[in-house]
Structure 1
Amino acid sequence: MHQQEIRLKPGTLWTSLKKTTELALKSGALKSIPTELEIFEKDGIKFVIRILENINRKNADKAKKDQEATKTGKEFNPFLPYEEDLFVTDISNTHVCILNKFNVVDYHLLIITRAFEPQESLLTLEDLTAVWACLAEFNGLVFYNGGKLAGASQPHKHLQIVPFAETDIPISPLLKTAKLENDLGTIPEFPFLHAFTTLKMGESAEVTLEKYHTLLRTVGIKPLENNMQSGAYNLLFTREWMLIIPRKQEEFEKISVNSLGFAGALLVKNQQQMQLLKNIQPINLLNNVAFPRQQN
């Protein structure tokens, strides 16, 4: 275990984020993907669905990297080294902040480990210390796609944070109905297996880590050798709460879902997928990629 040393100067992250974004757009390092947005509401549950207008840009970049990987025999890692033009700031001696190269939401940050750690490894005290350092700077939604089945696109450990007020998160109203016992509980409207807990701004990373492990245990995910996870899962958390959903598959009817899907934000590739999603209904999409809720 490393001795954690925070390098992020308080009050500087938002300024650094805006400055890096501006420069990265000018240099072409940041390739924002434009989207159209639709709101879908059913039974009081709201979903924000974005249609990707230019997924080809990301696909072409991936194809190029795959080709290079085939030639060299080494899988491409965009975080080792990361692109200098995407670098936002040092957070600690173990983590740095960089921009998400193909962002859909403005100011989408990645919190990455300096040294390689697998995305299927469980979160550590260092990870959560880095996250709280960022959340102290601005209000946001933090998420982690724990493994390929959970929507992770890179094997190098990276948490993500998007600036969001609590009220901007589509599922926020549902969280108020959470049934809690000793700060641990479930959301009645969620038909899939999950676990929910409350957090307090300013609580220690040690306390958050303990709550994270409690949620994992509650949904049946166990730590394996070398701190690896026993199953894929999505994690969402803000200054106020944490939610974990175990995953059984990455997509349903060719519509992929990552952690943001469980926050009520979904992505589709075109109008045909949008219509399909409306027919399936977003809550059923989530239900199909997660495990069924255990009946008491």
Structure 2
Amino acid sequence: MHKELIQIQEVGPRDGLQNESVILDTQSKIKLIDMLADAGLKRIESSSFVSPKYVPQLGDAEEVTKSIIGKRDGIIYTSLVPNVKGAQRALQSGAKNLAVFVSASEAHNRANVNMSIDESMAQLEKVAEKIHESKGTLRGYIVTSFGCPYQGEVPVETVIKISDRYAEMGASEIALGDTTGMANPEQVKRLVSKMLERLDGKAKLAVHFHDTRGMALANVYAAFTSGVRIFDSAIGGVGGCPFAPGATGNVATEDMVHMFTCMGYDTGINFDKLIEVNHFLQEKLGKTLPAYLGKVSPVWKSEVTKIK
């Protein structure tokens, strides 16, 4: 096993659930988060302080956040916030690790938050001030970093410009989002290499891939070989953006943990417990989840392995 630890940011309770038609009750969400922590996940994006009018699934963000903050040592719970009001709600609920977002596509940003990129960044500067006043940490998402369903290609220069502004705001981590699964491995290598060179240690770089076109794991591997060590994923491969046509699930946590484990890298996650979480969520949502490793045994338990 390689000594280097792969960091996984579990986004299932937020990005995974936000587009699901079945609304989970608050206690089920809390249990889901607790089970993920029991499985060894140290970074969990637990909810989003968006308007319940637009994302009813996350209307209980305050209650969920208050129930989990301070419950366990060593777990980083992150709350997504869209604006100053959302940040205030999150901070009042006890959240300390907040994430914000902006699209690298003007068209998608308009569809998502009805603002231009510059308008969004000006607002997020005020959010960052609130976070830093509360001694919190800031994670900045750059969504549609690899392509947009409205405008197609997204200029690399736009992604880098947003990254620079996040760094100026004091973001400790910047996450490149492939919102509708348009990225390919060669594109990932190019953008990740440029981003790591540009950041030069000012902030950590993470990636967030969707499996819309079946390339999520390939893109994870491309980012890994280019130097990224922080990866977003969702239990069961659930997820999707309400304001991005065609967006389907995130790369599945089970599948990604399986891949890195087979490669000899440590994720710190108990795979068997992770599958228990898959089964729990599957039962709650009333459907089979996309994750491959929720349907088949891991390589190390397969018949071929036993024969060898």
Query: TM-score, length-normalised on structure 2?
Result: 0.29
Query: TM-score, length-normalised on structure 1?
Result: 0.30
